[in-house]
């Protein structure tokens, strides 16, 4: 089967999908409308690249992607794929649906459906066009599935759902700790790790304020604030203004192979995001056995039960997050071990990337068999 994997970014998530598809024996082509070439070494072995003549940046309003339609049509007419895998919804999937190509598998990235789909009439229209043009739909949680069905009555037989999970054994409590010489792991402290980008969507202001409140009540708390983002200035100023330099550690963006060690160095995980599907970083933390404090969102409630394996706090409420940090810091050792066992079991049973991925391949087979010997069509409508 020849698959055209069409996206608007060169993220690590896309690389994981491409790598898995290629290793499954498919002929895989990659088209990224935001760039002509990915970084050196990014493209997985066996994946072929379609280099567009023209590009359009990621993160734009849907109508900005209409201009990429001729490029996409040229690509499919030359490659003649058996199937197009396209997402996010209002960019790549939107263009795919506008082209009239079938079979089209539309892939939600979570926030495209949960956050952007109803932001205004243009986003609603693009979402509806993409989902009505879908022969198959892939999502990572019940919340996204439910919202998508408000736009199009996609039958369950044409939906694959599983989290963008973790590879078995990669994240675990046992193994090396960070090699960063600037950090000292004090067993008497309670480090909480955050790996989300420093931006408004992911609640960076809520996180900083919540940590300051909790730290003022329990000085054992520490914050490993990985990553970076557009709110870097705010973060640095907040740390300086509240004299948190000895409590908040900011090592920057960590290479993926080093992440397991950082999770092991922590005693808890936090995400204050305002919108989410199934978060891969949440699953990584759970696989490491960490108790978690996350926003009280439908997708998070699919994984976290209050007081059993973590805590839920209202998005945008520093006070609620601070109170949950204090609950985490107050865990007895036997309670911490019990939570670790629960979270590892949950991930092993429900979020194993290798076990779940065949569901997507089954969806591919389903939509291709229904399409028969379909040939790509020119633009419709």
3-state secondary structure the chain: CEEEEEECCCCHHHHHHHHHHHHCCCEEEEEECCCCCCCCCCCCCCCEECCCCCCCCCCCCHHHHHHHHHHHHHHHHHHCCCEEEECCHHHHHHHHHHHCCCCEEEECCCHHHHHHCCCCHHHHHHHHHHHHCCCEEEECCHHHHHHHCCCCCCCHHHEEECCCCECCCCCCCCCCCCCCCCCCCCCCCEEEEECCCCCHHHCHHHHHHHHHHHHHHCCCEEEEEECCCCCHHHHHHHHHHCCCCCCEEEEECCCHHHHHHHHHHCCEEEECCCCCCCCHHHHHHHHCCCCEEEECCHHHHCCCCECCCEEEECCCCHHHHHHHHHHHHCCCHHHHHHHHHHHHHHHHHHCEHHHHCHHHHHHHHHHHHHHCCCCCCCCCC
348 and 245 housed in the same domain: yes
- Average pLDDT for the chain: 94
Kindly state whether residue 380 falls inside one of the protein's structural domains: no
Write the CATH number for 213: 3.40.50.2000
102 and 204 housed in the same domain: no
Kindly state whether residue 118 falls inside one of the protein's structural domains: yes
User: What mean pLDDT is predicted for residues 257-283?
Assistant: 96
pLDDT at 183: 79
Residue 23 banded pLDDT, cuts 50, 70, 90? very high
258 and 347 housed in the same domain: yes
Structure-token pair, residue 229: 């983002």
Residue 153 banded pLDDT, cuts 50, 70, 90? very high
How many domains in the chain?
A: 2
> Tens digits of per-residue pLDDT, 110-130?
999 999 999 999 999 999 999
> Tens digits of per-residue pLDDT, 192-247?
999 999 999 999 999 999 999 999 999 999 999 999 999 999 999 999 999 999 99
Q: Are 80 and 376 in contact (CB under 8 A)?
A: yes
Residue 168 banded pLDDT, cuts 50, 70, 90? confident
107 and 233 housed in the same domain: no
Tell me: pLDDT of 97 over 70: yes
pLDDT at 181: 77
The β-bridge partners of 3 are 28, 83
Residue 281 banded pLDDT, cuts 50, 70, 90? very high
Report the alpha-carbon distance of residue 244 to residue 236 in Å, rounded: 10
User: What mean pLDDT is predicted for residues 19-25?
Assistant: 96
Kindly state whether residue 376 falls inside one of the protein's structural domains: no
Kindly state whether residue 174 falls inside one of the protein's structural domains: no
b/e sequence 336-371, b meaning 16+ C-beta within 10 Å: beebbebbbebbeebbbbeebbeebbebbebbbeee
Kindly state whether residue 296 falls inside one of the protein's structural domains: yes
Kindly state whether residue 167 falls inside one of the protein's structural domains: no
pLDDT at 372: 66
Q: Are 317 and 206 in contact (CB under 8 A)?
A: yes
Could you list the residue range(s) of the whole structural domain that residue 198 is in? 190-352
Structure-token pair, residue 114: 């949960």
> Tens digits of per-residue pLDDT, 34-93?
999 999 999 999 999 999 999 999 989 999 999 999 999 999 999 999 999 999 999 999
89 and 17 housed in the same domain: yes
7 and 148 housed in the same domain: yes
314 and 328 housed in the same domain: yes
> Tens digits of per-residue pLDDT, 318-339?
999 999 999 999 999 999 999 9
249 and 146 housed in the same domain: no
158 and 11 housed in the same domain: yes
Upper half-sphere CA count for residue 68 (Cβ side, 13 Å): 33
CA separation, residue 157 to residues 208, 229, 278, 369, 370 (Å) = 44, 39, 21, 13, 12
Report the alpha-carbon distance of residue 80 to residue 336 in Å, rounded: 54
Kindly state whether residue 343 falls inside one of the protein's structural domains: yes
């Amino acid at each position: 089967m020849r698959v055209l994997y069409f996206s608007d970014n060169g993220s690590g998530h896309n690389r994981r999908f491409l790598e898995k598809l290629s290793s499954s024996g498919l002929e895989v082509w990659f088209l990224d409308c935001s760039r002509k070439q990915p970084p050196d070494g990014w493209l997985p072995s066996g994946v072929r690249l379609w280099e567009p003549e023209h590009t359009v940046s990621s993160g734009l309003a849907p109508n900005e992607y209409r201009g990429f339609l001729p490029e996409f049509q040229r690509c499919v007419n030359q490659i003649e794929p058996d199937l197009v895998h396209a997402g996010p919804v209002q960019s790549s999937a939107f263009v795919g649906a506008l082209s009239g190509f079938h079979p089209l598998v539309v892939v939600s990235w979570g926030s495209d459906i949960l956050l952007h789909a109803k932001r205004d009439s243009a986003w609603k229209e693009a979402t509806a066009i993409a989902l009505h043009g879908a022969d198959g739909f892939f999502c990572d949680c019940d919340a996204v599935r439910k919202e998508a069905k408000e736009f199009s009555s996609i039958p369950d037989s044409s939906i694959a759902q599983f989290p963008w999970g973790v590879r078995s054994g990669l994240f675990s409590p046992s193994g090396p700790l960070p090699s960063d010489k600037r950090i000292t792991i004090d067993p008497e402290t309670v480090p909480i790790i955050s790996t989300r980008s420093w931006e408004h969507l992911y609640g960076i202001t809520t996180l900083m304020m919540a940590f300051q409140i909790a730290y003022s009540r329990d000085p054992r708390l520490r914050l490993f604030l990985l990553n970076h983002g557009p709110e870097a200035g705010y973060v640095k100023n907040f740390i300086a203004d509240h004299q948190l330099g000895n409590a908040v550690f900011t090592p920057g963006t960590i290479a993926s192979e080093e992440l397991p060690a950082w999770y092991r160095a922590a005693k808890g995980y936090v995400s204050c995001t305002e919108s989410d599907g199934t978060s891969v970083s949440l699953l990584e933390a759970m696989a490491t056995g960490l108790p978690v404090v996350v926003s009280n969102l439908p997708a998070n409630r699919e994984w976290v039960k209050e007081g059993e394996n973590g805590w839920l706090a209202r998005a945008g409420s520093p006070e609620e997050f601070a109170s949950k940090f204090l609950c985490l810091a107050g865990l007895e050792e036997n309670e911490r071990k019990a939570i670790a066992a629960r979270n590892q079991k949950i991930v092993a049973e429900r979020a194993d990337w290798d076990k779940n991925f065949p569901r997507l391949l089954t969806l591919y087979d389903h939509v291709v068999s229904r399409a028969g010997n379909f040939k790509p069509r020119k633009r419709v409508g």
